[in-house]
Amino acid sequence: MSHSYMASGKPERFLQFVNSRAYETSDNTPELESINLSIVNVTTPAQYFHVLRRQQLRDFRKPLVVFAPKTLLRLAQATSTLDDMAPGTTFHSVLGDDHTSIQPASVRRVLLVSGKLYYDLVAQRAQHNRDDTAIVRVEELAPFPADALQAELAKYSNANDIVWVQEEPANQGAWAYVKVHLDKLGMLVRYIGRPSLPATSQGLGKANAKEAQELMRQAWEI
């Protein structure tokens, strides 16, 4: 777009349509069919494949909303192997940090993210050599993957700072929805992202670029 800010799919509006069962049901309980929507924000081709396959294999039918920005179609890092889609593989509602430089015992901060911003964070981590920070992807938003997220965060027992990072303003994106679930789990999570805004973007390319730089500065404390 002219203001250099990708159009928003307005995930906050879809998340507002999720019924109350999404706030009462865990991702591993048999009551999943009582949730009226499945909402995912996938970051790899394999995840996209598996979520579509799961949609067909389920013995109940509910709408599936997939956020998959076109930038990932051309991003070299957003790839999967055939092994990732082989028999025995499945969709993961949460993707842990599998970077070889990340040792769980050495992690002091965990960044939670959903969607394509993950790749920007990974690039910045490599640039600043921040191996003390793990990046965990929340690939499924509804139903919220409480069990899977708790299991992943348990790996980082020495982490004392958990942060939700998003591109959207604070009153948009997944933050308000996610915070309800994280509060319910007793997690103290900080927010890093753009401040609340009545519009999708500032409308000025330079202003948005400055906001993006500030977001990364806060995420990596540089």
CATH number, position 154: 3.40.50.11610
Q: Quick one: pLDDT at residue 51?
A: 97
Predicted confidence (pLDDT) at residue 69 exceeds the cutoff of 60: yes
Asked if the structure places residue 2 within a domain, the reply is no
- C-beta of residue 137 within 8 angstroms of C-beta of residue 94: yes
Q: pLDDT tens digits for 170-197?
A: 999 999 999 999 998 889 999 999 989 8
Asked if the structure places residue 5 within a domain, the reply is no
> Which sign, positive or negative, has the C-alpha torsion 152, 48, 61, 63?
positive
Asked if the peptide bond before residue 143 counts as cis, ω within 30 degrees of 0, the response is yes
Residue type, 43: T
- Look at the chain and report how many structural domains it folds into: 1
Model confidence, pTM: 0.91
Give, in degrees to the nearest 5, the angle at Cα 32 between 18 and 11.
Answer: 30
Asked if the structure places residue 78 within a domain, the reply is yes
Domain with 50, as residue range(s), is 11-220
Asked if the structure places residue 4 within a domain, the reply is no
Q: Quick one: pLDDT at residue 71?
A: 86
Q: Which residue carries 């409480």 as its tokens?
A: 146
Asked if the structure places residue 6 within a domain, the reply is no
Give, in degrees to the nearest 5, the angle at Cα 97 between 179 and 55.
Answer: 70
CA distance 74 to 219: 25
pLDDT band at 9 (very low <50, low <70, confident <90, very high): confident
| Residue 145: other Cβ atoms inside 10 A | 21
Residue type, 116: K
Residue 56 token pair:
């067909």
Q: Which residues, other chains included, contact 30 with Cβ-Cβ below 8 Å and sequence gap of 6+?
A: none
